[in-house]
Amino acid sequence: MYRYLPALLTLLLWPFLSLANEATAEIHAIDEKGVGSSLGTIIISEIPEGVRLSPELHGLPPGQHGFHLHENASCEPGEKDGKVQAGLGAGSHYDPDKTDKHLGPNGQGHKGDLPVLSVSSEGLASAAVTSSRLRTSDLKGRSLVIHATQDNYGDQPGGARIACGIIK
């Protein structure tokens, strides 16, 4: 009996163990007035290569969008250059190494730089993206932000912030 105990315990504790490595964010439309309606969820799971972000989103503009992990747990508007703008409460791209460089998911800059999010002509995003530079523990208590336009992993991270969710 006792030799089966470790296996039995693992089996019993498995839901808790796997939950510890999972996180979710409910994504909302945002604008300069605040946080709007829900557009769906992104489920984050830890994989051997890093983390996988699996979106189940609707109501987004078709095309490719800059997509990043931002440092703060907020999707509220903020003021910059004397103008109120959507989602500034999320702060900058997650950058624990203080590189101050936006170089994309395979660069050595911001760890929060994710692969672009692809949205279908129907406005749906369902293709998962992965990051090899993050673990689930980096993501909890921060936010995911979707931008209006494409990210060139250089001087154009994607323009205005159009959708955002706090990771729990």
Report the residue number, 46 or 71, with the smaller CB distance to Cu ion: 71
The site partner of 113 among Zn ion, Cu ion, none (C-beta below 5 to 8 Å per kind) is Zn ion
The answer to whether 145 contacts Cu ion (rule: CB under 5 A) is: yes
Contact pick of 23, 39, 57, 68 for Cu ion (by CB under 5 A): 68
The answer to whether 65 contacts Cu ion (rule: CB under 5 A) is: no
Determine the distance from the C-alpha atom of residue 158 to the mean position of all C-alpha atoms in its chain, rounded to a whole number: 14
- Among the listed ranges 34-42, 48-56, 132-140, 143-151, the one in contact with Cu ion (CB under 5 A) is 143-151
Report the residue number, 119 or 145, with the smaller CB distance to Cu ion: 145
Report the residue number, 53 or 145, with the smaller CB distance to Cu ion: 145
The site partner of 65 among Zn ion, Cu ion, none (C-beta below 5 to 8 Å per kind) is none
The site partner of 102 among Cu ion, Zn ion, none (C-beta below 5 to 8 Å per kind) is Zn ion
Q: Is the separation of the CB atoms in 153 and 78 below 8 Å?
A: no
Distance CA 81, CA 147 (A): 19
Nearest one of 167, 148, 160 to 87, comparing CA atoms: 160
Distance CA 15, CA 42 (A): 19
Task: Retrieve residue 58's tokens.
Answer: 């609707």
- The pair phi, psi for residue 89, each rounded to 5°, is -60, -20
Report the residue number, 40 or 65, with the smaller CB distance to Zn ion: 65
Task: Retrieve residue 68's tokens.
Answer: 């990043």
Please report how many Cα atoms fall inside a 13 Å half-sphere around the Cα of residue 40, on the Cβ side: 14
Q: Which residues bind Zn ion (CB under 5 A)?
A: 93, 102, 110, 113
Q: Which residues bind Cu ion (CB under 5 A)?
A: 68, 145
